[in-house]
Structure 1
Amino acid sequence: MKAQLIEGGSFQDSRGSISFVNDFCFKDIVRFYILENSEENKIRAWQGHKLDCKNFYCLVGSFRVSYVKIDNWDKPSKALKVESVILRASKSQILSIPAGYANAIESLEANSKLISFSTLPLDEVKDDDVRYNKDMWLLQ
C-alpha cells in the first residue's frame, strides 16, 4: 500500500461551518491522540511503524508531514525517497500512511494541532515503534 491523501470538504451557512472527510473509514481505528509541537522543537522525526497505520488530520494551523517507505528496519537506506504533504486546518484532508513507513511531523505555525488516528492498540505500540535519528532523511 501507498500513502494517500483523502480529500474532504466544508460547508458554511448562517449557523456556522462543518468540515468533513466522508471518504475516510474508521473501521480499523482503535485510538487517537492530538499532537502540538513545542516552539523549541517544531519537528518530530523519524518514527516508524511496522504494523500501525497512521492517519493525520490538522485541527489548528498547519503541518508538513513527511514519510518514507522503510526498506530494512534494522538498517534502512539513507537514499530512500521522502514524500511530504502539507496539512492545513483550513483544508479538510486526511493523510493516511500505511504500516511500513516512518514519518516526520513539522509544525509550520505556532499552536498548530494535529490529530492522529491509529490502528494499533496502545499496549502493542512498544513492539511496533521504531525511532530513527532526525537527520536520517532530509525533510522535503
Structure 2
Amino acid sequence: MASYTLINGNIHTDERGAVSFLNSFNLTEIIRMYEIAPSNQTMIRAWQGHENEKKWFYCTQGSFIINLVKVPSFEQPSQDLKTEKIVLSAANPDILAITGGYATGIKAIEANSKLLVFSDFTVEQSKNDDFRYDANYWKAQWE
C-alpha cells in the first residue's frame, strides 16, 4: 500500500559544535544514493513517479518543498489527484520516506540547497519503474 512517513531527526549542540542525527532511520533497504543541488529557487523538478521503488529524501543544506501525489494508476493518471506539500529543512533534520505509488516534485526554497535521495532500487531497476509527467500535470503549492 502506498504511503509516506516523516522520520524525525534531531540536532545536538554544545561548545564543540552541532551533530545532526537520525537514529531511527534504518538503512538496510538502501541500495544507492544521490544528491540533488538545484541551480536556483525557481526550477521545479516535477513530476517523477514510481510504482514500486521506495525513496527517502533528506535535506542536508537549505530547504525544499516536496509535493507528493498518490497515483493509483501510472498509465494516464487523473489530473484531478490531490497533491500534498511537505517542507524539508537542514535546520530540522527529518527524512521523508515514500513507498512506491507516488509521484514527487521538488523545489529549492533557499539558494545552495542540497537534497540527499536514497533508493531501494538500482539505476537499471529504477529506469524500468520510472514515470514522468509535465510540471503542470497536477496543481501543487510551490511557495
Identity of aligned residues (%): 42
Q: Which amino acid in structure 1 is aligned with residue 18 of structure 2?
A: S
What residue number does 1:37 align with?
Answer: 38
What residue number does 1:134 align with?
Answer: 135
Aligned equivalents of 1:101 and 1:19: distance in 2?
Answer: 28
Alignment partner of 1:113 is 2:114: yes
What residue number does 2:90 align with?
Answer: 89
Q: Which amino acid in structure 2 is aligned with residue 47 of structure 1?
A: Q
Instruction: Give the TM-score of the pair, scaled to structure 1.
Output: 0.95
Alignment partner of 1:71 is 2:72: yes
Aligned equivalents of 1:55 and 1:40: distance in 2?
Answer: 21
What residue number does 2:4 align with?
Answer: 3
Matched length: 140
Could you list the per-position Cα deviations for residues 20-52 of structure 1 after superposition, in whole angstroms to 9, with x for gaps in the alignment?
111111110000000011227521000001121
Aligned equivalents of 1:39 and 1:22: distance in 2?
Answer: 31
Unaligned 5+ segments in structure 2 are none
Query: Does the Cα contact within 8 Å between 1:64 and 1:108 map onto a contact in 2?
Result: yes
Aligned equivalents of 1:34 and 1:81: distance in 2?
Answer: 27
Q: Which amino acid in structure 2 is aligned with residue 91 of structure 1?
A: N
Query: RMSD between aligned alpha carbons?
Result: 1.2
Instruction: Give the SS at the match of 1:104.
Output: strand
Instruction: Give the SS at the match of 2:124.
Output: helix
Aligned equivalents of 2:42 and 2:63: distance in 1?
Answer: 15
Could you list the per-position Cα deviations for residues 53-111 of structure 1 after superposition, in whole angstroms to 9, with x for gaps in the alignment?
11001011000011111122111011111011100110010001111100001111111
Q: Which amino acid in structure 2 is aligned with residue 48 of structure 1?
A: G
Instruction: Give the TM-score of the pair, scaled to structure 2.
Output: 0.93
Query: Does the Cα contact within 8 Å between 2:41 and 2:111 map onto a contact in 1?
Result: no
Unaligned 5+ segments in structure 1 are none
Query: Does the Cα contact within 8 Å between 2:41 and 2:109 map onto a contact in 1?
Result: no
Query: Does the Cα contact within 8 Å between 1:71 and 1:77 map onto a contact in 2?
Result: no
